[in-house]
Amino acid sequence: MTAQLPDAAPSNWVDRHAPPAMQPWLKLGRFDRPAGIWLLMLPGWQGAALAAATVGVLPDPWLLAKILVGAALMRAAGCAFNDVVDRDIDAKVARTAMRPVASGQISLKQAFAFMAICSLISLAILVTMGPLAIGLGVASLGLVAAYPFMKRITWWPQAWLGLTFNWGALLAYAAATGRIDLPAVLLYASGIFWTLGYDTIYAIQDLEDDALAGVKSSTRRLGAGVQKGVLAFYVLCFALALATAWFAKLGPLFLPLAALYGMHLSRQAARTDIHDGPLALALFKSNSLAGLLLFLALAAGMWKGTGAGL
């Protein structure tokens, strides 16, 4: 049995139930840590909900299912690529030293084969979504390919992750409508600041190891100002989410769930502690609920009552 990775839950299904021979492969794709799947999937779900709400209907469940499968596979491919690029750095960081590529459980050739399989299945899903969505999907590969190098050249790799992880909001909106409108762009911008906040929190776990390895991050850059920085990112995120609803003319049922979303983000910012790595991981994982609240708020906005919207 492979070693349990430090940021995976002790009760994760891979360590408990997966055959030993499959465990390194599942861990290569981070299937033992599903929070990342949620965080990649939810912007797509939000884009689909926004597109549906603007015409007064609920999101297409078939589109939501395709986004879920595609997000899981592309996240797995992206994680494998990241592990290949970062294998030398990962070996020096306690939290990542036992990742399958860094520890030698999976070879580079095997990792590339894993990426190819995940990408091809994702492509088969993408080609069912229309020309604009296909173009956006292909364009996203540039963001994915560049991301592992950002921590070497900028203090803000979390911002690049935001550009990458929230691309699904544009793609799903395009898949549903065949176009990109201002509300979709605002939703994408909101997601960028959301990711910038939660990944700054996540990087608190690696502060000392990142400094020793020379890895840059927004967390290291902000230093003692991390809590204020996260709050600023989340304020911008929430303001842009409200702007999304306003320009999309969503109905008033958007507001109660959006208020819960804002409260969730503010609570995260208030609890952020640069000296508490375990708390940082817990706050990071709670963003699955945060993103789900915004998805539900956008979906609820389809009901406009007798008015024209917000």
- Whose tokens are 């790595």? That residue is 277
- Given this model, what pLDDT does residue 310 score? 74
Which of the 8 DSSP states describes residue 22? T
Question: What pLDDT sits at residue 8?
Answer: 53
**Distance in angstroms (rounded) separating the CA atoms of residues 194 and 34:** 18
Rounded to whole angstroms, the Cα distance separating 109 from 45 reads 33
Instruction: List Cβ neighbours of 212 (8 Å cut-off, separation of 6 or more).
Output: 92
- Torsion 63-64-69-70 (CA) sign: positive
How much is the pLDDT for 268? Answer: 98
Separation of alpha carbons 227 and 208, rounded Å: 18
Q: Domain residue spans in the chain?
A: 14-300
* Helical spans, DSSP H, in 55-178: 61-85, 87-90, 108-126, 131-153, 157-165, 167-177
- Confidence (pLDDT) at 40: 95
The answer to whether 96 and 90 have CB atoms below 8 angstroms apart is yes
The per-residue pLDDT for 218 is 94
Yes or no: say if 250 and 168 are a contact pair by the CB < 8 Å rule. Answer: no
Q: Which CATH architecture has domain 14-300?
A: Orthogonal Bundle (1.10)
DSSP 178: S
pLDDT given at position 1? 44
Rounded to two decimals, what is the model's pTM? 0.89
Return per-residue pLDDT of the chain as tens, 310 residues: 455 445 555 567 788 888 988 999 999 999 988 888 999 999 999 999 999 999 999 999 999 999 999 999 999 998 999 899 888 877 777 777 788 998 889 999 999 999 999 999 999 999 999 999 999 999 998 998 898 889 889 999 999 999 999 999 999 999 999 999 999 999 999 999 999 999 999 999 988 878 877 889 999 999 999 999 999 999 999 999 999 999 999 999 999 999 999 999 999 999 999 999 999 999 999 999 999 999 999 999 999 865 566 7
